[in-house]
Amino acid sequence: MDYFTIRLIITIIVMIALAYILIRFRTNRNSTRSSLDMMKLRMERGEITEEDYKRAKERQGKK
């Protein structure tokens, strides 16, 4: 194998590794819930009051 072939193989391996890392990062990031969604779940479970939820919503600028 010459120098060019080895360099090409290493470049391909690095590109595949970077693509794999980026795909995994985006997948994990999209699956997280917003803080407001978590507050709503807590309200539904009875962990916080509806008033607490409304205050959190107002702090985030939501109506």
The Cα 60–Cα 53 span in angstroms is 11
Q: Which amino acid is at 58?
A: E
- Assign 1 to helix, strand or coil: coil
pLDDT by residue (tens digit) across 27-54?
655 555 688 888 899 999 999 999 999 9
Q: What percent of the chain lies above the pLDDT cut of 90? A: 52
pLDDT, the chain, mean: 86
56 and 34 Cβ atoms separated by less than 8 Å: no
pLDDT range class, residue 3, cuts 50, 70, 90: very high
CA dist 44 → 15, 29, 47 (Å): 45, 24, 8
